[in-house]
Structure 1
Amino acid sequence: MIVLAVVVAAVCAGAASGGWERLVSGGFDASGTEAARADAYAVSRFEAGTPHLTLLVRGHIPVDAPASVRAGRDLTGRLARAKGVVSVTSYWEGRDPALRSTGGREALVTAVLAGGEDQRVRTARRLVPGLTGEQDGLWVEVTGPARVGGEAVDRARDDLVRAELLTAPVVFLMLVFAFRSVLAALLPVLVAAVSSLIALALLRPLTAWVDVSTFAPNLTSALAFGLAVDYCLFLLARFRRERAAGLEQRAAVAATMRTAGRTVAFSVVTVALVMSSLFAFPLPFLNSMAWAGITVAVSSGIVCLLLTRAALLLAGDRLAAPRAPAGDGGWEAHAGWRRWARLVCRRPVAGLAAALIALTVMSVPLARLQAGPIDEQILPAQAPSRAAATSLTAAFPHLTPRTAVVVALPEAASASRAGAGTYGARLSRLPSVRTVDSATGRYQHGRRIAPASAPARFDRPGAGTWLAVQAGVDASSPAAGELVERIRGLPAPGGTVWVGGAAARFADTAHTLRTSAGPAAGWAMVCMAVVLLLFTRSVLVPVKAIVVGTLSLGASAGMAVLVFQDGFLAPLVGMDGRTRVVDACMLLLALCVAFALSMDYEMFLLSQIKEEHLHGADNREAVARGVERTGRLVTTAALALAVSVGALTMSSVTLLKLHGFALAFAVVLDATLVRAVLVPAAMCLTGRANWWAPARLHRLLTRWELHGTGTGTGTCISTSICHRRGPAVETDGGGADADRIPAPAERGTDHQPASGRRSIPRRGRHRP
């Protein structure tokens, strides 16, 4: 199996290496919206629309001087003739006063690029080096969505590589400390490498049908590493416990795969189903992240189970030697966690109240979440495209190109020029509108203030007409959304109007996220309820897990808003101040991954609690032992992942800072406050109700598991077999060790297990 894994990894590495050029940038705007149709219509029919590149041109002499005019026209011509450029608007072509600064030493040249967002970014990356800097006596700076997108992708790629190189030694030392073995610490690294290569190879053919984001490989490697650490820790800890209980090596491996391996299999299904909830959002970026998450979850589970089994059979005790006697709680138990678990179980009301108050306080900032579009603000102040945007705002305070709203009247709504002029005058009277340009002229406050600089640019036979509305509000502000709604509600010639532009795209994307959040959350919760029901055979535990997970995510999102939007402790993540807005896509992605990992930790904890309960411990004792056994494992895995992804806060791109902080905080919060306080306190208070299920459902789940239609855990197939093999643990639950038959080596005198657990005789009826 190990040789096969190496061969498969090599083949997948070769297959994945050819797929990097197929990855796409962007994808943060919702597809199929009215704004997307309007922008595409304006580009295809009128070769116009919101500019994708904006050139800020400065001269040592006025831009109207003959030398500046010659240089400006030459620059305009070179840009217009470049491949991938649809149209160019230049001050030196139409002498539009709006494209010249008040001082007369700055002018603008804008370009509309062909293709989708990724193609525009590639075009900008190719053109910008030849357009910036000194150009025949003029100094040129370039900004715009295509330029910002390309620079963000380049910086993000470099920052991700730097973060991985910085954190790799630290994380490896943490794994050595956790596993107590250098050889064992190498196992999750090998599993993560093989599973991520397989996932990347599987993503390559998907690029022929769907857009796969350039960030997908980074999510793949991060999630592969996190799952590998989780699964390997859990499997090796179980193997050590089985060896400490007296089983020989091969039998201990079999018992580990039958018990902890079952939990890993359920965890794989859980993570894949949670990541699939991102398909509910019609955003290419989130859809590609869903594909990446599903493929890496499945590949991580399969590779981990196969490689860990092979490694344990070959290396055995060199990987996971028993370091503590069975009665001492096992290697994974720790005296500190033992004392903490019993303290929480003695004072469950106080623990529950304290945890709920803390989570509620952390969730409060979420109420003032202000989402915003991706623009130059995601880059540092010294980034060329952001510096150019700052200079543009200073020289042209009356222009805000990124908030321009394009109103496209399709062919079915073609109107006369007079009708379009009347409509433009009405648009100019709307609040926050500065000017409206159309085929009949420029309008302001309901009056025509100038003739059209290029009437043919706005009016094409058989295509209708379009109007450019300059708004004086930020695209992410509520006023911009209200303006878009007012324009859409204003009667237009022909009765049909499509509104596009940055403000409309963001408004439509925000509406899409709001309407899709319900189905996505519903799908994730239903899937989690079904999986946990099958895993625990309990009705209350799945509901409790979903409620706790929701509280944890709300607290994590609230802290992200507090740090990034409000600027509280902003230097902690390397920022000088607040961002004012938060990117909803990156926050959603971080919370989705965190929820998947939280369900991962939930299953590890529940499997131990259920096992202790089935071995005769009362509810509080079972909860305390479960926390004691999993506390060290879960916190170690969470801290390793938090260090790995938390390094993204050192990135120069705000998007990566947000993702790294939100995911690291959510994982650590869930592994500490939630798993160590909230969950055990709640389970102690609910008592025997934790394991209740209707009798008919209980019989159905038991039959489903014992007769091979599910992922049964043990060898107990019939009562007669169990009685022939001696006393067995009770099979009324689906814990990680629920149906395991103690081997002779585990049983002491009078059929007492060597581990000190009390064996419970089988009764005719299942105990709830």
Structure 2
Amino acid sequence: MENNVDDHGAVRDSRGRAPMITRLITPAIRAPKLVLALVGIAFLLCGVLGSQAAARLTNGGFVASDSESAMAADILAQNFGMSGMQLVLTLESDGGAQGPAATARGKDIATRLKSDNRVVKAVSLWTEPQLSSTLISRDGKIGLIVASVRGDENTAPAAAADIAKEYLGSRDGITIHAGGQGMVWSETGKQTQHDLALAEAIALPLTIVLLIWFLRSAVAAAIPFITGIAAIAGTSALLYLVTLFMDLSVFALNITTAIGLALAIDYSLLIIGRYREEIANGRDREQALILAMQRGGRAVAFSGTTVGIALIGMLFFPTTFLRSLAVAGLAVVALSIVLSLTLVPALLAVLGERINRKPLREARPVRESFLYRVARVVQRRPALCALPVLALLIMLGLPIFGLKLGMPDDRVLPTSLESRQVGDLLRERFDDNATGTVHIVFQLPNRYAQLGDLSAYSSALSQVSEVKAVTGPAGTYVGGKLAGPADPAGTDGDGGAHLTITSGVDPYSTGGQQQLTALRAVAQPAGVTTLFGGLAQQNADSAAGIKEGFPRAVIWIALTTFILLLLLAGSVVLPLKALVLNILSLSATFGALVWIFQDGHLGGLGTLATGYTIATLPVLLFCVAFGLSMDYEVFLLARFTEEWERSDKTRADNDNAVALGIARSGRIVTAAALLMSVIFLGIATSGVTMNRMLGLGLAVAVLMDATLVRMVLVPAFMRLMGTANWWAPARSRPLLEKAALRD
């Protein structure tokens, strides 16, 4: 499409119309005070709505609803009345768990729990003597009460916490703690909310200080800061609205708030930088603002689209956790774009020259800038500069080949919390693991004829390593022999049956997965199809869902990003280069995280290394970090293209376009990256391991991308490719020109 420039320097199409982006931001430029008033009203409303968001967030969603463990859980709940999450109470007494005081207290609590309508089932050391060997610690001082709390992953954690409050504490020489999955999820939600407040308390003051330093003006710094605060309020309100239509994970509080704040500041810096540049070029305030929004605003809209594309990748996974974050993230990205195209130009129109006085008088020619000189140094020795960086990224990425996926358990929490303390007690002082129960549900075609087969099946299951007992309709089996009565609730009257397998293995460990594999390998009765449930199966299902969805997500992100960058640059080579470098930097980031948090190097940075990585984290980190990295790629590529299209398109012009593009956008990219990293490092202060990994991973990815990749690898590769950077098939050029997004 042919374009021309009007008397004000603004781009218009062949019919004399202003581009869409100009028409969108015109109200903010012509009536800025009205826009600011409307934004202020919206801010207050968002504050009211956002204050209610945290109470509506859920703690689960890590396993797909159509997975084997989920279907087994549904059958147990509907046909056998075995629903809810596990609550584990530990009673510790110096006089021994089977002493008179502990026995009286344990029986009283177990009896009260069995009559509590919030509890489906409760077993204890003192009321189920046949289970005594699994419910007492090796030293005999701790006894267990294991209850199933009624409800789903949205309601059971809160119920478990409420029940636990009634019994926690020390009295008469007996100390009671509470753990189990219900308590883990409840305390994870509370810790996440606490951590968000701490992250904001750390990040916001540092952000305003850095903004003043980078922009050299407190007035200028106020614009991205105000935009960031508006983004936090708007994000909270959006999270509340999303919860009206679907379940939303509690982790969305940290993640989407950080993304909204980071992008709002990022985009504000880009527009302010372009506005200052146009003022320095002699434009008046209105002309400069129109051009800044026309060119910088288009980059913002395009950049937000690439971030949104990456977040859509999470919709390819079957878990509610990831899908809910994708929806919330898309809403937040849209909010960041809207704020950048409305609030930022309105503030610029009102504040005007006050943001520019000192910086512009001190501005140096672009060819004398540090970033320009760095780009030229790299271009003189591209291979020499690029090879050490490539070697470093590849070395950092090697640990990713040892990646093992698993579900989060109590070990993601700080040791100060109840559920973590109980989890440690179970692992350290008990031979059996009260959380390691495996359930098997099935339908018997001929109940009475197959009881003999079921007896043999139960016997064979009980001989699997680390299985303590198998209880079902045919009896209780230990070590292959009948050792106790049948479970009266083992059948539902319609041919349905279930087995309960007591295990001594941590269900989240490698041993737990090996035991599950061995149990599944036991020959089943003829005509019976089994469904396995329990935490070990949930762990396996979560990892399987991630592995299944990852290739589709990668294809979607790579293909759509390639097309968008193709339309932006009109080149086939530049999008491919961007994808390769992005994946290289992300693999290096995640390899470092595996080395630290999974393998336990550097002390796990204050976390406990479990030998596996939370299954959803690689997806979350990949999608978010990929989008943010492409954010910077768009900023630079837009400037490269702008410089290239004004040139004679020689090899020297290619080098010049890259050096000038890095010099003019690089400072903004570097500043934005540092500010983003501060925000993400705020998340890394979290006491929840998953948040700490994510915050650190995003900070490292952003900094690595803005320094090693954008300042070294990009100019080196573009120098080596020369004019071939801008190649596209001859037959496609007319179509690319017609569909171009760069005008």
Q: TM-score, normalised by structure 1?
A: 0.87
Change (3 A) 1:413 1:291: farther
- Report Cα offsets for 1:614-658 as digits up to 9, x if no partner: 222611121111222222211111111111211333322212211
Find the partner of 2:709 among 674, 688, 694. Answer: 674
Change (3 A) 1:15 1:477: closer
Find the partner of 2:372 among 323, 326, 338. Answer: 338
Distance in 2 (alpha carbons) for counterparts of 1:259 and 1:412 = 70
Distance in 2 (alpha carbons) for counterparts of 1:317 and 1:128 = 60
Tell me which residue corresponds to 1:599: 630
Distance in 2 (alpha carbons) for counterparts of 1:102 and 1:226 = 51
Distance in 2 (alpha carbons) for counterparts of 1:508 and 1:470 = 20
Aligned: 1:374 with 2:374: no
Amino acid at match of 1:352: A
Find the partner of 2:214 among 164, 167, 178. Answer: 178
**Helix, strand or coil for the counterpart of 2:528?**
coil
Distance in 2 (alpha carbons) for counterparts of 1:115 and 1:191 = 41
Tell me which residue corresponds to 2:349: 313
- Report Cα offsets for 1:161-220 as digits up to 9, x if no partner: 112212321221001111111121111122223234334333333323321112223222
Aligned: 1:466 with 2:498: yes
Aligned: 1:538 with 2:606: no
Tell me which residue corresponds to 2:733: 698
Distance in 2 (alpha carbons) for counterparts of 1:668 and 1:105 = 51
Amino acid at match of 1:156: T
What is the CA-CA distance between 1:21 and the residue it aligns to? Answer: 2.2
Determine if contact 1:233/1:633 at 8 Å carries over to the other structure.
yes
- Report Cα offsets for 1:337-393 as digits up to 9, x if no partner: 122111111111122212211110000111112222211111223322222222233
Range 79-88 or range 293-302, more displaced: 79-88
Change (3 A) 1:246 1:498: same
What is the CA-CA distance between 1:438 and the residue it aligns to? Answer: 2.3
Tell me which residue corresponds to 1:746: none
Aligned: 1:73 with 2:140: no
**Helix, strand or coil for the counterpart of 1:455?**
coil
User: What runs of 5+ residues in structure 1 fail to find an aligned partner?
Assistant: 706-710, 712-733, 740-768
Determine if contact 2:92/2:174 at 8 Å carries over to the other structure.
yes
Distance in 2 (alpha carbons) for counterparts of 1:412 and 1:192 = 62
- Report Cα offsets for 1:260-298 as digits up to 9, x if no partner: 111111011111111111011111111111112101111
Range 431-440 or range 285-294, more displaced: 431-440
Aligned: 1:400 with 2:433: yes
- Report Cα offsets for 1:199-250 as digits up to 9, x if no partner: 4333333323321112223222211111122211111111111111111111
Tell me which residue corresponds to 2:615: 584
Distance in 2 (alpha carbons) for counterparts of 1:101 and 1:603 = 59
- Report Cα offsets for 1:709-749 as digits up to 9, x if no partner: xx5xxxxxxxxxxxxxxxxxxxxxx3xxxx5xxxxxxxxxx
Change (3 A) 1:322 1:260: farther
Tell me which residue corresponds to 2:4: none
Determine if contact 2:407/2:614 at 8 Å carries over to the other structure.
yes
> Which runs of structure 2 are paired with 1:512-527 in the superposition (5 Å)?
512-527=545-560
Find the partner of 1:227 among 259, 263, 268. Answer: 263
Determine if contact 1:56/1:392 at 8 Å carries over to the other structure.
no
Amino acid at match of 2:714: V
Range 308-317 or range 197-206, more displaced: 197-206
Change (3 A) 1:387 1:202: closer
Distance in 1 (alpha carbons) for counterparts of 2:562 and 2:522 = 47
Range 387-396 or range 133-142, more displaced: 133-142
Distance in 1 (alpha carbons) for counterparts of 2:667 and 2:615 = 33
What is the CA-CA distance between 1:473 and the residue it aligns to? Answer: 3.7
Determine if contact 2:83/2:120 at 8 Å carries over to the other structure.
no
Distance in 2 (alpha carbons) for counterparts of 1:505 and 1:267 = 37
What is the CA-CA distance between 1:137 and the residue it aligns to? Answer: 6.0
- Report Cα offsets for 1:647-691 as digits up to 9, x if no partner: 333322212211111111111111111111111211111111111
Change (3 A) 1:379 1:95: same
> Which runs of structure 2 are paired with 1:120-519 in the superposition (5 Å)?
120-134=156-170, 138-321=174-357, 323-324=359-360, 328-329=364-365, 335-397=369-431, 399-410=432-443, 416-448=450-482, 450-452=483-485, 455-462=487-494, 464-493=496-525, 494-519=527-552
Distance in 1 (alpha carbons) for counterparts of 2:184 and 2:161 = 10
Determine if contact 1:587/1:662 at 8 Å carries over to the other structure.
no
**Helix, strand or coil for the counterpart of 2:65?**
coil
Determine if contact 1:410/1:496 at 8 Å carries over to the other structure.
yes
RMSD after superposition:
2.4
Distance in 1 (alpha carbons) for counterparts of 2:418 and 2:692 = 20
Tell me which residue corresponds to 2:31: none
Distance in 1 (alpha carbons) for counterparts of 2:59 and 2:574 = 41
Change (3 A) 1:225 1:659: same
Find the partner of 2:681 among 646, 650, 653. Answer: 646
**Helix, strand or coil for the counterpart of 1:117?**
coil
Distance in 1 (alpha carbons) for counterparts of 2:97 and 2:295 = 77
Distance in 2 (alpha carbons) for counterparts of 1:534 and 1:434 = 63
> Which runs of structure 2 are paired with 1:558-637 in the superposition (5 Å)?
558-570=591-603, 573-575=605-607, 578-616=609-647, 618-637=653-672
User: What runs of 5+ residues in structure 2 fail to find an aligned partner?
Assistant: 1-34
**Helix, strand or coil for the counterpart of 2:405?**
coil
Determine if contact 2:274/2:296 at 8 Å carries over to the other structure.
yes
Distance in 2 (alpha carbons) for counterparts of 1:316 and 1:645 = 31
Determine if contact 1:237/1:320 at 8 Å carries over to the other structure.
no
**Helix, strand or coil for the counterpart of 2:406?**
coil
Amino acid at match of 1:582: T
Tell me which residue corresponds to 2:32: none
Find the partner of 1:86 among 120, 126, 133. Answer: 120
Amino acid at match of 1:581: Y
Distance in 2 (alpha carbons) for counterparts of 1:355 and 1:54 = 50
Distance in 1 (alpha carbons) for counterparts of 2:223 and 2:82 = 56
- Report Cα offsets for 1:274-333 as digits up to 9, x if no partner: 111101111111111111210111111111111222222222222245845899545xx8
Find the partner of 1:662 among 697, 708, 712. Answer: 697
Determine if contact 2:313/2:553 at 8 Å carries over to the other structure.
yes
Range 32-41 or range 95-104, more displaced: 95-104
Amino acid at match of 1:128: A
Distance in 2 (alpha carbons) for counterparts of 1:597 and 1:329 = 30
**Helix, strand or coil for the counterpart of 2:71?**
helix
Change (3 A) 1:635 1:584: farther
In the comparison of the two structures, how many residue pairs are matched? 701
Determine if contact 2:178/2:419 at 8 Å carries over to the other structure.
yes
- Report Cα offsets for 1:436-457 as digits up to 9, x if no partner: 2223333233222x213x6213
Distance in 2 (alpha carbons) for counterparts of 1:249 and 1:192 = 24
Change (3 A) 1:103 1:221: closer
Determine if contact 1:192/1:221 at 8 Å carries over to the other structure.
no
Change (3 A) 1:476 1:63: closer
Determine if contact 2:629/2:702 at 8 Å carries over to the other structure.
yes
Distance in 2 (alpha carbons) for counterparts of 1:108 and 1:461 = 31
Determine if contact 1:413/1:495 at 8 Å carries over to the other structure.
no
Determine if contact 1:45/1:463 at 8 Å carries over to the other structure.
no
**Helix, strand or coil for the counterpart of 1:467?**
strand
Determine if contact 2:64/2:319 at 8 Å carries over to the other structure.
yes
Distance in 2 (alpha carbons) for counterparts of 1:88 and 1:346 = 73
Change (3 A) 1:45 1:137: farther
What is the CA-CA distance between 1:694 and the residue it aligns to? Answer: 2.1
Change (3 A) 1:347 1:519: same
Change (3 A) 1:485 1:63: closer
Q: TM-score, normalised by structure 2?
A: 0.89
What is the CA-CA distance between 1:501 and the residue it aligns to? Answer: 0.8
Determine if contact 1:365/1:562 at 8 Å carries over to the other structure.
yes
Range 634-643 or range 6-15, more displaced: 6-15
